[in-house]
Structure 1
């Protein structure tokens, strides 16, 4: 009897829990200012500041970049070095800002609101000694060696990866709509480039290392089979000396991104930045402006360096040869850009020197520009 009652209660509970609980959510878009970037001192490269506003996590629109602001670095002597907007929310300073003074960033938004950073002391960044990779059983690890200097108690690194990848099939022909026939392509679109900025926050306190020399700082790891190692891969690392306030800011950011997620993980911390509203210091402003010189170094890894590893690109797992298309079908079959022609099928008749049909595949499987860039980056060095 008890068993019957127990089963009855369980059925009742199952029936009563059919409605999905949806908590009431208040949608608030605070539109806080976000300031990112670095005041470059010493002339090694352009300074870059990026301005945007926060948006709700439920907002699927593109990032709300600010494109109509005035941005400049101001020295203690009153000299101004202007950052010019490049059309994408980034502001670039191509003037050489000298060492020997403190600076602060000044921002004036089109609505009249003004923001300023704290006074910042630029630091000289030591050179990167070496960037290198080591191949293990099923991964490649990329490391950095660097020596700290008198102004380098704390170091910050960022990375940018670029690699070549190939489509499973190569299309040598395209439809000429005027002729209604296939012609040889001016350029083959089977090898392209992809780019990715490193997502990890990389920091080090040089005093924790013997003689301030940093050895084997891991920048990233690439698993066996990654498309990054399929043809040719490059990684560039940027190194900057930062002060203790910047280190603490980025360390909190790192902990918030790396450590949060498990049930026993620490809660996200409040991240104080170094930019404030001139008229309303209590207004939240997100971000931290750095200052100093930047050192960079780049390495390349070829697929031969990890032979015999094979590349796997999940996006292409379903790529197969499609139907053979005969010449009288060209205009209709290739007109909508859903398919591309690979190579021709010759007739067995020795008196005929043209293809009677072409093997095909989908556009995605034969045109790499749908997931990458055909043009190589300016810095790219072809393998010898």
Structure 2
């Protein structure tokens, strides 16, 4: 791969990792590596301590560069400011919780660790939106895979530009293949000896939460009505473990400006490796952050103040697929006839194997821990929002 294309790929990767970006377009050079600041700053109507992410472009083989030691603030109507403090390298969190308000001018200002100052123009909160409905339907995707597609309907309730961005957070119930109430306890290491005791923690049913990592954008500016209908946010194959039992998705909808939409549209295009490597000129990255005194200093940054709404949806495997076969785990087991067996002791001590039962009595069955202990993958605490059928 030519050096220039490698740099563009790594720059886009860095932006994707921070999900950020840059009001007038600039063309990214494709010849040599350039040290470019990357800023991801999104303020929403959710009351919280908002976070701003600052990284740098990096060369092939290097780790992502988190920027530490920056000074970050958001100016409010040019009269006051909200300060952000460094919570961890590359992450800057507001010192107070707040929510974006209508009719207020917000401006981002960042001074990096090198003393260079960057700023956005003044921006205002986009108009409110609503998520009208979330649905799930059994479909065959473009690859012919049988699964469930999750759709969202959304509407703008104000004078928006007709651009929407989506994220989601999915939570699903994870059930261990084996569900014993008892387990091994080490009695002695020399000589090796185990005993069977009742478990002190729940290892049978857990809950796993994962967040989206794709760019999901929609537009309605060319439609008669400012609404999104049946926009696909998530496809899950029928035998995916996520939907083997019960599944929940929290869809987040953001009302965006044309500047934000153009940036994410370009970034989405760049994130396709086939598309990226086939273009001799990768194109333009658009955003709204600039160096305060020198326009030749490149920065990839987008500061947006967006209306935000959420909706949660649940379904179980049977509701979508009826009596079809869901995910099936591959969990074999071994047998031992003595609790002092050296091989059994070594396996248990390593934490890789656990007790699942006796069959026949005094013949001890063990299986890989991943088949017995769901806490290796999620939390055994039921989320506050969880609903069963």
The 10-residue stretch of structure 1 (212-221 or 67-76) with the greater mean CA deviation from structure 2 = 67-76
1:105 and 2:120 aligned: no
Q: What residue number does 1:255 align with?
A: 269
For residue 284 of structure 2, the aligned residue among 258, 270, 293 is 270
Shift of 1:359: 0.4
Cα distance, 1:381 vs structure 2: 0.8
**Which whole-Å deviations, capped at 9, do the CAs of 1:342-365 have from their partners, x for residues lacking one?**
112454xxxxxxxx2320012233
Quote the Cα distance in structure 2 between the aligned partners of 1:369 and 1:64. Answer: 32
Q: Give the gaps of 5 or more residues in structure 1.
A: 1-21, 348-355
**Could you tell me whether the CA contact under 8 Å between 2:37 and 2:57 is conserved in 1?**
yes
234-243 or 27-36, which moves further after superposition? 27-36
CA–CA distance in structure 2, aligned partners of residues 164 and 134 of structure 1: 20
Match of 1:156 in 2: 165
Specify whether residues 32 and 24 from structure 1 end up closer, same or farther in structure 2 by C-alpha distance, changes over 3 A only: closer
| Counterpart for residue 177 of structure 1 | 186
- 1:299-310 matches, cutoff 5 A: 299-306=313-320, 307-310=322-325
Q: TM-score, normalised on structure 1? A: 0.79
Residues 260, 266 of structure 1: 8 Å contact kept: no
Give the equivalent residue in structure 1 for 2:339.
327
Deviation at 1:88, TM superposition (A): 6.5
Identify the residue that residue 14 of structure 1 maps to in structure 2.
none
Structure 2 match to 1:74? 75
Give the superposed CA RMSD.
Answer: 3.1
**Residues 41-86 of structure 1: CA deviation (Å, up to 9, x unaligned):** x454543322222223323x4x333344332210233211123444
Higher RCO (C-alpha under 8 Å, 6+ residues apart): 2
In 2, are the aligned partners of 1:173 and 1:340 still within 8 Å (CA)?
Answer: no
Name the CA shift for 1:235/1:43 in 2 (closer, same or farther; >3 Å). Answer: closer
How far apart in 2 are the matches of 1:276 and 1:205? 26
Asked if residue 129 in structure 1 is aligned to residue 132 in structure 2, the reply is yes
Residue aligning to 2:54 = 51
Give the Å deviation of 1:230: 0.7
Q: State the Cα deviation string for residues 296-320 of structure 1 (Å, max 9, x = none).
A: 111111122132233336xx54x31
Partner of 2:84, secondary structure, is: strand
1:373 aligns with 2:371: no
99-108 or 164-173: bigger deviation: 164-173
Partner Cα distance (1:283, 1:377) in 2: 49
User: Could you say which structure has the larger radius of gyration?
Assistant: 1
Distance 1:45 1:142, change over 3 A: farther
1:93-150 superposed Cα distances (whole Å, 9 cap, x missing partner): 3124432222111223344333222221221221111111122362212111122243
Aligned twin of 1:65: 66
Which of 31, 36, 44 is the equivalent residue of 1:32?
36
